[in-house]
Amino acid sequence: MSTKWCRFQAGGKSSYGRIEGDSVLAIDGAPWEAHEVTSNRHALSAVKLLIPTVPSTFYCVGINYRDHIIQAAKRRGVEPVFPDKPDIGYRANNALCAHGDPIVKPRDSGDVFQYEGELVAVIGKQGRNIPQQRALEHVFGWTIGNDVSERTWQRGDRTLWRAKNADSFKPMGPWIVTDLDYRTMTTVIRLNGEEVDRFATADMIHDVETYIATVSRYCTFYPGDVVWMGTDGSPRNMKPGDVCEVEISSIGTLRNPIVAES
Amino acid sequence: MSTKWCRFQAGGKSSYGRIEGDSVLAIDGAPWEAHEVTSNRHALSAVKLLIPTVPSTFYCVGINYRDHIIQAAKRRGVEPVFPDKPDIGYRANNALCAHGDPIVKPRDSGDVFQYEGELVAVIGKQGRNIPQQRALEHVFGWTIGNDVSERTWQRGDRTLWRAKNADSFKPMGPWIVTDLDYRTMTTVIRLNGEEVDRFATADMIHDVETYIATVSRYCTFYPGDVVWMGTDGSPRNMKPGDVCEVEISSIGTLRNPIVAES
């Protein structure tokens, strides 16, 4: 049975919690380790949701959906190239922000400022040399990410540091849901309530199992690590005042307003 | 006055500690935050040193010394290009290992498996939009890093994930020393006791102040974050059985043996 876990702040204190209907029950410890369930229950609407995990390493897949590659190639006037192995990259923790937090558009950023709605696998069990057929045993649950990107900077920044890792460019949440089959999910992206993209979440070039097996040949995964699985389609531009939502069926909806840097 | 801080394990417990001569005094909390000094004193030789900080974001500078760029260009038969702004990148926490820990050379890695001795700035104070002239106020202290690199993989891995971030490829330590002037330091690298490189640590194309100011225009630095400042010279190959040492004057010596993956 699926369980829904979050990190939240209430009364100045941060903790993980188990969501039960409209309330959240604080736990001592992280959900993927031995923990105690406390008797501290809060209305979900009364707490501030935090990013559901603070990863030790923040993995992502650069380019992992065919249509996204085709559209990007078209814009640059080149032939699309599909990667023959997973494109393994990183994002930076400073950029993470929670469900509801503003995505702050830097003063000197350009108009081509875009969302990318992504499935996020949250690792629950340490592992190295994980075989593909056992990879999902290392996934604790699933959350949602928005890989916000400034495309002009993206062309110039070799490591995408600023293009994809400026503060607030990585909304993640609202929570983690366990025991789901990602192969049946649908990702829907809305800008100001209007649906702007919809794709089968599992329509990846390299699936979650392949990614985990490939990385873990050389790198140990630790509980709390995240893997962002890439996006499909051809994103539109966001501007201050907009609200971006990424919904993945059976997980929930990650919603963030865009504001201008003051 | 300089203070020397470490993280260590003793009796199954990990803590930060203040090094006083040959002993270490455990503290409650991190050295860069409010903490209490305990009465738990250990002989330094009796504890296991850990990486001196677990960074939230692990920053590095890709190419930051002239001679290193000239030598790398020569090997590739191209003209050297010096970056006109800091090359801002990331490394991954899974790759970190401590002073004394083995650098494990993967079975399928090639012979061009090399050290890169680097100065590491450890952030002590949160900051965004840090002006260059105040950047060093955000540096808590200094440690040493060895940016181990598999050069064949480095040419093929767009993000250098495996080339530079396989487990154990990022030795860091042995400790953090505060209140030093990095402009007077010398970096010396030894392989099996033989000096193989020596350079003025501050001989950087873009200095620590420039890097911190540039990154913090878009990204918040947090206490415990690290910035690896790049290496000079033309590294040699390491093979299992070798011992690599990176010494930076007034900080100490980071020493790691190289072993073959079993």
Percent of chain A whose predicted confidence (pLDDT) is above 70? 100
Looking at the DSSP bridge assignments, the partners of residue A39 are none
Higher pLDDT: A147 or A74? It is A147
Instruction: Give residue limits of the domains in chain B.
Output: 4-49, 51-260
| Min Cα–Cα distance to chain A from B217, Å | 9
B51-260 falls under which CATH superfamily? Answer: Fumarylacetoacetase-like, C-terminal domain (3.90.850.10)
Structure confidence at residue A63 as a pLDDT band (50, 70, 90):
confident
Looking at the DSSP bridge assignments, the partners of residue A73 are none
Question: In Å, how far are A116, A152, A239 from A110, measured between CA atoms?
Answer: 17, 7, 10
CA angle B60, B66, B71 (to 5 degrees): 100
| Min Cα–Cα distance to chain A from B86, Å | 11
Residues on A contacting B at a C-beta cutoff of 8 Å: 54, 56-57, 62, 87-90, 92-95, 106, 128, 157-159, 161-162, 165-167, 215, 218-222
| Min Cα–Cα distance to chain A from B61, Å | 11
| Min Cα–Cα distance to chain A from B83, Å | 12
Q: What is the β-pairing status of strands A243-248 and A186-191?
A: antiparallel
Residue with tokens 């970056």: B83
Task: State the Cα–Cα distance between residues A119 and B181, nearest whole angstrom.
Answer: 46
Task: State the Cα–Cα distance between residues B258 and B97, nearest whole angstrom.
Answer: 12
Successive 10-residue mean pLDDT values, chain B, 262 residues: 96 95 97 95 97 98 86 88 88 98 97 97 98 98 98 86 96 98 98 97 96 97 98 93 98 98 94
Taking alpha carbons only, the member of A229, A248, A57, A233 closest to residue A147 is: A229
Measured between beta carbons, which residues in chain A are less than 8 angstroms from residue B219?
Answer: 92, 94-95, 161-162, 165-167
Task: State the Cα–Cα distance between residues A52 and A162, nearest whole angstrom.
Answer: 23
Helix (H) / strand (E) element for A176: namely strand A170-177
Handedness of CA A57, B189, B176, B226 (dihedral sign): negative
Measured between beta carbons, which residues in chain A are less than 8 angstroms from residue B215?
Answer: 161
* Mean per-residue pLDDT of chain A: 95
Task: State the Cα–Cα distance between residues B69 and B83, nearest whole angstrom.
Answer: 10
pLDDT at A22 over 90: yes
Residue-wise burial string across A36-59, b where 16 or more C-beta atoms lie within 10 A, e elsewhere: eeeeeeeebeebebbbbbebbbbb
Least confident of A79-93, A164-178, B123-137: A79-93
Looking at the DSSP bridge assignments, the partners of residue B248 are B187, B252
Task: State the Cα–Cα distance between residues B246 and B117, nearest whole angstrom.
Answer: 6
Residue-level pLDDT at B76: 86
Cβ-count burial of B40 within 10 angstroms (0-12 exposed, 13-18 middle, 19+ buried)?
middle
Residue-level pLDDT at B119: 98
Structure confidence at residue A244 as a pLDDT band (50, 70, 90):
very high
Taking alpha carbons only, the member of B233, B168, B240, B180 closest to residue B203 is: B233
| CA A197 to chain CA centroid, nearest Å | 16
Complex confidence, ipTM: 0.94
Residue-level pLDDT at B83: 85
Q: What are the tokens at B93?
A: 């926490």
CA angle B191, B194, B198 (to 5 degrees): 85
Residue-level pLDDT at B57: 98
Q: Which fold has domain A4-49?
A: SH3 type barrels. (2.30.30)
B220, A94: Cβ pair inside 8 Å? Answer: yes
Q: Euclidean distance between the first and final Cα of chain A, in Å?
A: 45
Higher pLDDT: A256 or A63? It is A256
Residue-level pLDDT at B218: 97
For B55, name the nearest residue in chain A, comparing CA atoms only.
Answer: A56
- CATH architecture for residues A53-260: Alpha-Beta Complex (3.90)
Give the three-state DSSP class for A4: strand
Q: Do the Cβ atoms of B53 and B224 come closer than 8 Å?
A: yes
Task: State the Cα–Cα distance between residues B169 and B160, nearest whole angstrom.
Answer: 12
Residue-level pLDDT at B4: 98
A158, B57: Cβ pair inside 8 Å? Answer: no
B88, A161: Cβ pair inside 8 Å? Answer: yes
B167, A88: Cβ pair inside 8 Å? Answer: no
Cβ-count burial of A155 within 10 angstroms (0-12 exposed, 13-18 middle, 19+ buried)?
exposed
| Min Cα–Cα distance to chain A from B148, Å | 14
Helix (H) / strand (E) element for B110: namely none
Residue-level pLDDT at A71: 83
CA angle B21, B24, B25 (to 5 degrees): 120
pLDDT at A85 over 90: no
B159, A220: Cβ pair inside 8 Å? Answer: no
Q: Euclidean distance between the first and final Cα of chain B, in Å?
A: 45
For B127, name the nearest residue in chain A, comparing CA atoms only.
Answer: A94
Give the three-state DSSP class for B188: strand
Residue-level pLDDT at B199: 96
Q: What's this model's pTM, rounded to 2 decimal places?
A: 0.95
